[in-house]
Amino acid sequence: MLNQIVVVGAAAAGLTAVETLRAKGYEGGLTLVGDERHPPYDRPPLSKELLSEGWEPPSTWLRKEDVLSAVDVDLRLGCRATGLDQAARTVTLSTGERLPYDAAIIATGLRPRRLPCGDGLRGVHVLRSLDDAVRLREALLAGPKVAVIGAGFLGAEIAATARGAGLEVTLIDTNDQPLARQVGEEIGGLVAGLHRDHGVRLVLGADVVGMARDGTGVRGVLLSDGTVVDADLVVVAIGSVPAVDWLADSGLPLGDGVLCDTYCRAAPGVWAAGDVANWPHPMVAGARVRLEQRTNAAQQAMAVVANLLAGDAGAQPYTPVPFGWTHQFGEKIQTVGWCPPDARTEIISGSTADREFVAAYHRDGILVGGVGWNSARGLRQCRLLLGRPSTELAATAAGV
């Protein structure tokens, strides 16, 4: 009997979970716990619209207050979960309160990685939360020289946004190309060309060893070869780790996130959704996956709720097709499936010179992923053939 459900994490996954529960007819007690004081908000705009287009924080909110109130949920904002007791079936809050649950959904997302150097130094930023974005936007308005450490999706977006505002920007990464881990070096090289064409200075294949200081503030980034990249503002965008520290004594299986089964269940009565969830996926043979994608946050939350309400007999494995996107300098780059750096990359339509194309990713003769650069329509055809022999894609492209 599900009389009380507690959802921990009040971002996209957590909000979708409580809304889906009500939409599917759940009438019991429902609590949503969020460690930030803001109503649930969308994260993708933080590195784009909020920084560059003058959005105010309410523009990022996922629901207006009256819509959120209609969900009939006990909303605990600015309140951090500090523990979960499986035996007692309670979630402990930073206030000391213990919330009883018949089912708990963990959707606590990520926390940003930080460098051992520069943390706490004035002018050094990370970007994960809405408050982080507001602080960074205010700092950018002063017109600083900007260095972004980390050329993944987030770092490249921040660099593009800052450069679009007319600032002097240097993008630094240990890899030889931006987005190398996300889409491989071939497509990453095209991203590098896009940034260079817009005036971003790229420092690639470089290791950061420290920060140059000016009193309590930063004045540059120190590289292992002795080079100093001048900067009044530094953004550290070197990835994130699942926010599972609060579960250390819970007895739940933890690793790279909350380790779930194919149904997104971590233990009896405990489920996970969104960036923090790690589960076996049939498209990745013998491996587990954890997806840091906005689309997955909502899809997985809906799947968790469906499985939670269906019980063991009606539960279905969660087998999504990953989908993500990034906007940089007006270009829309979308990914579908898996685009591992070691895959064989093939341009199957369009032209890289025109920056409008679809790239297919093959591994062991199987189509595993695709990138669409200003080519959403072409990418849809690639998506339909994921997991099938690469020869089928070739036949389709040839009109056979």
Continuous H helices in 1-90: 12-23, 49-52, 65-69
For residue 364, how many other CB atoms are within 10 A of its CB? Answer: 10
Residue 229 and residue 208: Cα distance in Å, rounded? Answer: 10
In the three-class reduction of DSSP (H, G, I as helix; E, B as strand; rest coil), residue 112 is classed as strand
Indicate left, alpha or beta for 186 from its phi (over 0: left) and psi (-120 to 50: alpha). alpha
Q: Indicate the pairing of strand 257-259 with strand 254-255.
A: antiparallel
| Block mean pLDDT (10 aa), the chain, length 400 | 95 98 97 96 93 87 91 96 98 97 98 90 96 96 97 97 97 97 97 98 97 94 97 97 98 98 97 98 83 96 98 94 95 96 94 96 94 94 90 64
- pLDDT for res 400: 36
Q: What HEC string does 139-196 produce? A: HHCCCCCEEEECCCHHHHHHHHHHHHCCCCEEEEECCCCCCHHHHHHHHHHHHHHHHH
Stated pTM of the model = 0.94
Rounded Cα distance between 270 and 287, Å, is 22
Residue 45 burial (C-beta neighbours within 10 Å; 0-12, 13-18, 19+):
middle
**Rounded distance, CA 310 to CA 304, Å?**
10
- Helix and strand element counts for the chain (H, E): 9, 28
The pLDDT, as a whole number, for residue 397 is 58
Work out the number of other CB atoms within 10 angstroms of the CB of residue 251. Answer: 13
